[in-house]
Amino acid sequence: MDIFMGIILALLGIVVATSGLRVFFFMLPIVGFVAGFFAGATIITNWFGDGFLSTMTGWVVGFVLGVLFSIISYLWWYVGALLSAGAAGALLLSGLFSAFGVSSGILLTSFAIVGAVLFFVAALVLNLPVFIVLVNTAIIGAYMVVAGALLVFNRADLDEMGYGVAVAAVRDSWFWWLVLVAVAAVGIGAQMRMVNSIKLPEDRWVKAEPV
């Protein structure tokens, strides 16, 4: 199961990191679902202390929150862009504090929430939707690649993903952080060549459809 999930995550991550702008509107509901699912499942894990996705409650709450995020991302594409920024912020801040020795699930979740809010607000204030999409899809795609690699090479188990891919990567080796940075950099470079050929809707509060 872990190897299968790892292969899917890695392949999907490569597509998201290098072609985020091109597949963004198609991916928005999927990204929304994944973000909501992991957020809901992680909340249940931290509240009850069970393993990630080890109880039916975690699956149900994750699925419901995932569907909600997916619908919102489909109805208003810019909300999906902001959610992707929030997801990137959560991964980065939880990973940063894990690197400095924080191991409490409650604390890491709190830092993840702070990171999500900071990136969400920054994306809203900066008001540069193309670059918000570009950078955050590259970061999220890189995390997906690392998560997939960790699962495929048995460097982490699925239940470790509850506190974030960044945490699992730090606990394993700094090598995976270098891989993450490299994939994100390649993704940003690849997408920068697409900027002039991609046009986003002027109205940000419409369905997830390219113009």
Burial class (CB in 10 A: 0-12, 13-18, 19+), 132: buried
Q: Is residue 208 part of a domain?
A: no
Q: What separation in angstroms does the CA of 32 have from each of 28, 48, 163?
A: 6, 24, 18
Written as one letter, the residue type at 157 is D
Q: What separation in angstroms does the CA of 157 have from each of 6, 36, 100, 174?
A: 10, 20, 22, 18
Question: Which tokens belong to 90?
Answer: 């959560």
Nearest CA among 177, 185, 170, 176 for reference residue 153: 176
Helix segments in 100-158, DSSP class H: 105-126, 129-152
What is the pLDDT, as a whole number, of residue 167?
57
Q: Is residue 78 part of a domain?
A: yes
Residues of the chain short of pLDDT 50, as ranges, are 163
Single pTM value for the model = 0.69
Q: Is residue 207 part of a domain?
A: no
What is the pLDDT, as a whole number, of residue 63?
83
Q: What residue numbers bound the domain in which 20 lies?
A: 2-197
Ramachandran class of 198: left when φ > 0, alpha when ψ lies in -120 to 50, beta otherwise = beta
Question: Which tokens belong to 182?
Answer: 């490299």
Q: Is residue 209 part of a domain?
A: no
**Number of structural domains in the chain:** 1
Q: Is residue 205 part of a domain?
A: no
End-to-end Cα, the chain, rounded Å = 39
Q: Is residue 202 part of a domain?
A: no
